[in-house]
Structure 1
Amino acid sequence: MKFLQFSNRLNTSWRTLFVNTSFMIANTLAGSAFGFLFWMVVTRYYDVAQVGTGVAYIAAITLLANLSEMGLGIALIRFAPTIDQQNKFINTNMTAVALSTLIITGLFLAGTAVWSPELQALTGLNWQTALFLAAALAFSVAQFLDKLFVAFETTHFMLLRNVAAHLIRLGVVASFGRILGAVGILLAVGMGAAVTLLLSSYVFAPRTLTNYSPRIAWDWQMLWSKAQYSFGNHFSQLLWNVPPLIYPLIIVSLLGAEANAHFYISWMIANVLF
């Protein structure tokens, strides 16, 4: 009898693992396919310099999101399912990610004229700078909440969020985003992240964790107790993720926007093929 109970639990665990892994694989494949389609649409409707600048915008946002995450997403996956005060733990980590994003993005924007003169639209206090800051914040927090769905084995919500984000990006970049040039590419990514962040926060997350509601929270002890685990994982993730994100920013600064466009599109096609 005990053997049958153990066998049933094992089968259930394997089934859950298989289903969630399948959704994660589907999420990766969908991201690659939609990403390729996105840039094909961009190259059709935008000139070469606008494409190169747009590539730099998105690379910068993705880089800032990686730097700002501080390993808290991995800590969420590891500890959230078993920790006491789950809602407080999730919201404290989410608040920390948001605060970190605002600080790091603010520092990046303050020095844009020095380390990336090609992104001159982001210098000074203007609506483009505000858009970039908002896009970086939405992108960073939305990616953090994706880890919530991994932690609680509801990865179908992660897939749905990312597909929705890609569809919004395509719609914006092929319509009114074209009027704004390279900033329209930034707007497309920002709108995709912002709309699906709201979707994750108020629709998907409450269905993942009963009685969950997103709000600002802070518990320094919770953060500090997981700091060693978080920062260890953060450092290893940066070693893997950051180098490819720096290339477009280096190229746009040294060779200009047009060279950056040619590099990135060729590189993207090579990644798809090989």
Structure 2
Amino acid sequence: MKNLNNIKQYLNNHLYKNSFFLVLSRVFNVAAGFIFWMIAARFYSIEDVGLATALISSLGLVILFSRFGLDFSIIRFLPGSDKSKVFSTCLIVTTVSAFIVGIIYISGISFFSPGLSFIQDSGYAMVFLVFAVMNSVAATTGNAFVAMRRAGHFFFQNVLLASRILLLIPLVFLGSFGIFGSMGLAYLIAALFAFLILSRLIVFDLRVDKQFIKGSFRFSSGNYMSNVLLAVPTLVMPILILNLLGEAEAAKYYIAFAIGNLVLIIPDALSTSLFVEGSHGESLRKNVIRAGLAIYSFLVPAVILIYFFGDFLLGLVGKDYAEASELLRLLALSSFFVAVHSLFVPVQNVRMRVESIVKLNLLRFLLLLGLSYVLILKFGIVGVGYAWMVTYAVLGLGIVVVVKRMGWF
């Protein structure tokens, strides 16, 4: 009876309840992604897969630069503000900017990635821009679900994103753009679902609230800068490898990285939930301790599993991909350091100490990109694993020093 009451207590705790659906979303999305790439590897050439990963990363860069930190502000300010004004402002600004940034990116693609210059063709360019807008809408609406503690809707949105698997084979005649197109159409489906649900929860106001933009500017701009520094190295890596080592190596790297991210499901979900609960006024230190215990309880067995059976998982995708097993092991081991970073960032966001996150992610940006470039030339794609390990070890030590100064231990 006592155990039953404990389970009931956990289910009623917003941190764990929201985290449950966020973890479920991540697990489902990663599983669907694994199936997606396994099918892609069967029906598309390794060169097509490598080119598609660079296209997907390009789309990710467009979305990243078009957010302006509003994906963080919607979580931080939606709970205690006029939901209609906050949501509508975030949606309008990010959607319009995704279209504009997409045009700029396409215009300069032949300069920084000649291998992708074919998307400057009017047909490919228009499809790319439509997918960028749909991706942006799906991301904003997903953040709104999380901010409103409606992570169950967020989970179903991710279920709809799995429709990309069903679209892979019918679009195989398009080559690399077939892989990219299946993902873009899935974002369209997810965005339409989110609009349908949110129309019952929020009154849409097709105006930009200047007061909200002004009031949240410091927080939004700080997080924008921080998130750009955080995400750019990861998104640039497939494009960098494509241009340095070719399509096949880019494909091997991307698949290893996707599987390596399996161990970060719990840290990422609990980090987001920690931010949400802190924004709702819950005890920060208590939730950090809870989240930390949950994260490392999961990480230890997950890393052991990936370390010893990672080559088997890569082999399921395709025999060529098993060559990235050493990279996968390094990525898995580095997750112990990554988790420290994942816990620290939401704490500083709740405390409105965005400047410290910007400095931390600037250091990560310089270390990870600089080391990766040098080590890729020397060791191939395994060099990314070495760079990842060293970067997060340095960051972890720095965070421990800062937290000690905060008097948390």
TM range (shorter): 0.7 to 0.9
Contact 1:135 1:186 in 2 (8 A): no
Partner of residue 87, structure 1: 84
Other-structure match for 1:193? 187
Matched, 1:139 2:139: no
Q: Work out whether residues 64 and 136 of structure 1, in 8 Å CA contact, stay in contact via their aligned partners in 2.
A: yes
Partner of 2:177: 183
Kept after mapping to 2: 8 A contact 1:115/1:253: no
1:170 counterpart = 2:165? yes
Verify the 8 A CA contact 1:121 1:128 in the aligned structure 2. Answer: yes
Measured in 2, the distance between the counterparts of 1:96 and 1:128 equals 24
Cross-structure match for 2:276: none
Check the 8 A contact 1:178/1:184 in 2, yes or no: yes
Match runs of 1:1-274 below 5 Å: 14-84=12-82, 86-124=83-121, 126-166=122-162, 168-174=163-169, 176-202=170-196, 204-207=197-200, 209=201, 211-213=202-204, 216-272=206-262, 273=306, 274=332
Mean Cα deviation higher: 13-22 or 42-51: 13-22
- The residue identity in structure 2 corresponding to 1:205 is L
For normalisation by structure 1, the TM-score amounts to: 0.87
Aligned AA (2:86): F
Per the TM alignment, residue 254 of structure 1 is displaced from its structure 2 partner at its CA by 2.7
**Distance of 2:74 and 2:118 partners within structure 1:** 36
Indicate how the Cα distance of structure 1 residues 41 and 12 shifts in structure 2: closer, same or farther if over 3 A, else same. closer
Shift of 1:261: 1.6
Task: State the shift of 1:14 in Å.
Answer: 4.7
CA gap 1:17/1:206 in 2 versus in 1, 3 angstroms: farther
Q: Matched residues in 1 for 2:59 and 2:175: separation? A: 17
Cα separation, 2, equivalents of 1:257 and 1:115: 16
The separation in 2 between residues aligned to 1:269 and 1:149, in whole angstroms, is 26
Alignment coverage as a number of residue pairs: 256
Q: Give the superposed CA RMSD.
A: 1.9
CA contact (8 A) 1:132 1:186 kept: no
Identical-residue share of aligned pairs (%): 28
**1:12–1:250 Cα change, 3 Å:** closer
Aligned structure 1 segments of 4 or more residues deviating by more than 6 angstroms: none
CA apart distance, 1:236:
2.2
Tell me the SS of whatever aligns to 2:171: helix
- If the length of structure 2 is used for normalisation, what is the TM-score? 0.59
- Summarize the Cα distance change of 1:120–1:229 in structure 2 as closer, same or farther, 3 Å threshold: same
Distance 1:55 1:133 in 2: 17
Kept in 2: contact 1:92–1:219 (CA 8 A): yes
**Using the alignment, how far apart are the partners of 1:270 and 1:83 within structure 2?**
38
Q: Give the aligned residue type for 1:212.
A: V
C-alpha change, 1:240 and 1:177, in structure 2 (3 Å) is same
Q: Report deviation, 1:38.
A: 0.9
> How far did residue 225 of structure 1 move?
1.6
